[in-house]
Amino acid sequence: MNPENLRRNDENQDDGQKPIYRPCPPPSIEQQQRNWAAWHQAMELSHAMLMAGLRHRIGPQGDLQAAYRQWYEQYQATKWEQDRAS
């Protein structure tokens, strides 16, 4: 069991026993939806910032799809090299 998913039950602290760790309940559906919405918004904003940066680099008349493909190829090559080195 993952220790981050455990919470301490302090009921037994006064009698000298070790604390009891119990699993946290899963998040509610509403919390899961809020978490997903926050994650989705972060991904959308990241993509928009990447596209804005590429557009700034290539100018208004440049080919954005080609610039994205080139950036992605370079990103994957760098990532592959880093993964290989570690």
Residue 18 is predicted with a pLDDT of 74
Tally of CA atoms within 13 A in the half-sphere of 67 that contains its CB:
15
Which stretch of DSSP H or E encloses residue 84? helix 64-85
> Rounded to the nearest 5°, which phi and psi values hold at 9?
-105, 110
Q: What is the pTM of this model?
A: 0.62
Concatenated DSSP letters of 17-80: PPPEEEEPPPPPHHHHHHHHHHHHHHHHHHHHHHHHHHHHHH-TTS-HHHHHHHHHHHHHHHHH
Q: What band does 3 get if pLDDT is binned at 50, 70 and 90? A: low
Residue 13 is predicted with a pLDDT of 53
Q: Where are the domains of the chain?
A: 3-85
pLDDT digits (tens, 9 = 90+) for 28-81: 999 999 999 999 999 999 999 999 999 999 999 999 999 999 999 999 999 999
Give the residue, 69 or 24, on which the prediction is more confident: 69
